[in-house]
Structure 1
Amino acid sequence: MSYIGRFAPSPSGPLHFGSLVAALGSYFQAKAKNGKWLVRIEDLDPPREMPGASELILKTLEAYQLHWDGDVVYQSQRHDLYQSQIDTWLKSGQAYYCQCTRKQIKDSGGFYTGTCRDRHLSDSGNNAIRLKMTAPVYQFDDQKHGLLEIPASLADEDFIIKRRDGLYAYNLAVVLDDIEQGVTEVVRGADLIEPTGRQISLYKMLSKQPVSYLHLPLALGDNGQKLSKQNHAPAIDNSNPKPALLDAMRFLGFEIAKDIEQLDISEIIAWGVKTWQLQQLPDSTEITPRFSNSSL
């Protein structure tokens, strides 16, 4: 099977250093294997989106010479796919309506204990939809980190596939999209290690072969929090991309000589594809980057 990878940002803001690391890692892994690199905009949560962010993200990828294959896919245009699978599971009894609130779940220990599983609730217009977990995954093999464990309380949980506000859940959408797009490996940040167990469970419940996973080191700020849009990580510079590009590549374990630094952006990217190997990645899943210059 030919390799198909992807980068799937949410349009809640411009790309920052941490998202550049994820984009580069997924791009290098795909192109080093002579595969395709897809871009999917995960615009599932309109209240969290920033106007114009989708277009800005694509312009940033172009500025860093990260050219995707095929058309960009938008999750907001794929609701019929998600709803069709949910309807199938509701009909079979694999999914069910749940009226439990976050407060109730927090009060019961922080994990959903199946309160509504056998209550046969109808759609009141204010209920979430949960999936009966019949194929829990307690561990999986990561391409860099080896066998990773998933807490049993998380693996066993009947998780939400459609929120009570009517929005589709990330775990469901991402798996259905990866299946439909033929993705063979997911390369992303280590902050998504725990959801990986649920996503592999979905593959099993859909009778599909799970993809392989590679989780990249997570870039942390000086305060120990991950660099993210929620934590107000600064946007990377589209007008002068080389400093951030070089810093992100060093973060991914590249040793970059002075003559490589002098190359054009496209030439640096091409060099990165040729020299990329998984062994160069840091063993740690969390790192505070030390910027060599003003890359932000």
Structure 2
Amino acid sequence: MSAPLLDTVAAPAPTADLALATRGLTKRFRSGQVAVDGVDLAVPHGAVYGFLGPNGSGKTTTIRMLLGLLQPTAGERYLLGRAMPDGAADVLPRVGALVEGPAFHPYLSAVENLRRLDAADRTTDPRTLDRRIEVALERVGLAAAAGKRFRHYSLGMRQRLGLAAALLRPRDLLVLDEPTNGLDPQGTREVRSLLLELAASGATVVLSTHLLSEVEQVCSHVGVMHRGRLVAQDTLPDLRARSAAVVAVRSTDPAGAARVLDRLGLAAVALDADAVTATLGTTAPEDVVVALVGAGVPVRGVEVRTADLEEMFVELTGEGFDVSG
């Protein structure tokens, strides 16, 4: 069996190297429920950070505390190198966010809604507003519906407008909670391309999502929440490497192959008519092949694979996850 992934995640140092960091971030509600329990996030500058977890794991509560929408019970928060909430006035204009369902005035158009939002930001230049709105709506595919009232927007169009609001001015950090919710496959692909474009331009993106396919395609780093705790945090390749690889040997003598694997200390986990699989551990794949050939076992093929993101998620949380998208 593979080594367990569940471990203690080291607390980050709140330095300029991190676009977002927390230390011991905790939220306990009056009911006694601990929604977020000592979370230590570390999001490097320029990363696309996939923030994963089942429903109720504490992701949205964490995001709301990071943005100052909810007061933590304990812990420290740092955005773009500044402690929160002390640095909020300087930092938040550089942060774009989409949290849960976007809310706009139903009887106003997309352009009118964005005008109102921008008017509340004293750090923007009103002389550039028209152009900034035009660019933001084009980036999210709403240019043709710019004059349409929000109340007539579909769920996917509303989500796009929320993204446009987050992109209304240049941002150093984007915190997006389920940004592809309600989008069709084409819209989902467009948002993925946009996230990669933003990261390539130097922005840091924190992406809370239920779609593992999004994480596989766009994320450089991953954090996994489970029951209010951060149970894993690493680069995506390093997180994969922490799950033991499995070797699969196809042979006309699978029983003989299983005996060789057993002698190597690789306990077979599956045996069928023409193949045997086992956890590879620290044994090199080429050593397996040499041992099989040396024992006279006919080898038709050898495959080595690591756990995919879905398998790692189940291993970390013991729960299933949405892998569509």
The answer to which structure, 1 or 2, has the higher relative contact order (CA under 8 A, 6+ apart) is: 1
Query: TM-score, normalised to structure 2's length?
Result: 0.27
Larger radius of gyration: 2
Give the TM-score taking structure 1 as reference length: 0.28
